[in-house]
Structure 1
Amino acid sequence: MKKVLVISGHPNLSQSIANQTIIDSLTSGLNSVEIRRLDTLYPTEQIDVAAEQQALLNADVIVWQFPFYWYSMPALMKKWLDEVFLHGFAHGSTAKLGGKTLQISFTTGASGEEYTEGQAMNFPIEAFMPAFQQIAALCGMHFAPPIYSTGMMYLEGLSSAQDLQNVTAKAKDHAARLIQQIQQL
């Protein structure tokens, strides 16, 4: 059984329908999983680098779960990456993450149609993946095909009950696809 480490990069997971549903589904759907919620572990953004590096070393599959912010990861998750994926640990001649799998999993508020030329996002989602692929390559990690879901917008007080049902159903489907892919790695 592969050990799975999930790094939850949502800045306030308790207010997220989609990402919280995905995390809950991973917790119940995978046998050997550790969830590290950056929002609750590091509310002051003081990252315990040694603890994070040890968690990474203990894992076979590393999942980054996050909402897509400005075509990348949220700020706290980027800070985590900058501080934890150090030369000599994550990459370089003494890299320790080589051979592990990096699985990115994310949600977007924008619809899939908006990720096309001439629309609001102007590029397909795949156009934003090279930076993630390069992180994996630099670290000698296998980059698994990304799992993502679009149109995951729900705003309490503004969205309808039907919107909530739709986002929840899409999040459960997202988690099922992610679990299936992890199990096939």
Structure 2
Amino acid sequence: MKKILINLVHPNFEKSLVNKRLINAISSFENVTINNLYDKYKEFKIDAKEEQKLLLDNDVIVFQFPMYWFSSPSILKEWFDIVLENNFAYGGQYKLQNKPFAVAVSCGGYEEAFCETGKDKKTVEEFLSPLYGTANYIKMDYKKPFITYGTEFELSEDTLNKFEQDYIKYIKELSK
């Protein structure tokens, strides 16, 4: 079973409904490490060496976050800038080459908003293209993202349970 690193990127995780449920659903898995970036780096002083060690010690890297203004929360950009250094992630060495790079994103809007004819005019996958570009540049294996929709609205317990079960299945698939 592959070791999975979940880089949790949520600036207000304690008040989260969906992301908290997803993390709780997988937190007991022996092969999963949860790395809460906002908890760990309140001042955004990211320890590149510590983060690089986590990346090297795990087989699959997942970035889990709520979509904010059609992008990821700001600490993730800072994390990429600090951690994915020349001669580590690219340049002379590609130490993460062929490792799976996955994204789990929660979207406040409904799925029908994220299409050419919808309110947002683009798909979530299109909004995630900078992450695809990053994974491609450092020669990681970009996986199909896990997406939840409608998270800013009141969700039924059945919907939340379905999100949890789907996420468990997604993580187990990445573990194979």
Normalising to structure 2: TM-score of the pair? 0.91
Structure 2 counterpart of 1:22: 22
Matches within 5 A, 1:146-165: 146-154=145-153, 159=154, 163=155, 165=157
Deviation at 1:23, TM superposition (A): 1.0
Query: Structure 2: which amino acid aligns with 1:182?
Result: L
Give me the whole-angstrom Cα distance separating, in 2, the residues matched to 1:77 and 1:167. Answer: 28
Partner of 2:172: 180
Name the % identity.
30
What is the aligned length? 176
Mapped to 2, the partners of 1:174 and 1:78 lie a distance apart of 27
Moved more, 114-123 or 142-151: 114-123
Gaps spanning 5+ residues in structure 1: where? none
Secondary structure of the 2:34 match is strand
Distance 1:68 1:141, change over 3 A: same
Q: Which amino acid aligns with 2:69?
A: W
SS of the counterpart of 2:126? helix
Is 2:13 aligned against 1:13? Answer: yes
Given that residues 99 and 141 in structure 2 are in contact (C-alpha distance below 8 angstroms), is that contact kept between their aligned partners in structure 1? yes
> What are the residue-to-residue correspondences of 1:11-90 with 2, within 5 Å?
11-28=11-28, 30-90=29-89
The match for 2:160 among 153, 164, 168 is: 168
Contact persistence 1:22–1:174 (CA under 8 A): no
For normalisation by structure 1, the TM-score amounts to 0.87
For structure 2, list consecutive stretches of 5 or more residues without a partner in the other structure. Answer: none
Q: Which residue of 1 aligns with 2:136?
A: 137
Kindly provide the amino acid, as one letter, of the partner of residue 106 in structure 1: V
- SS of 1:62's partner is strand
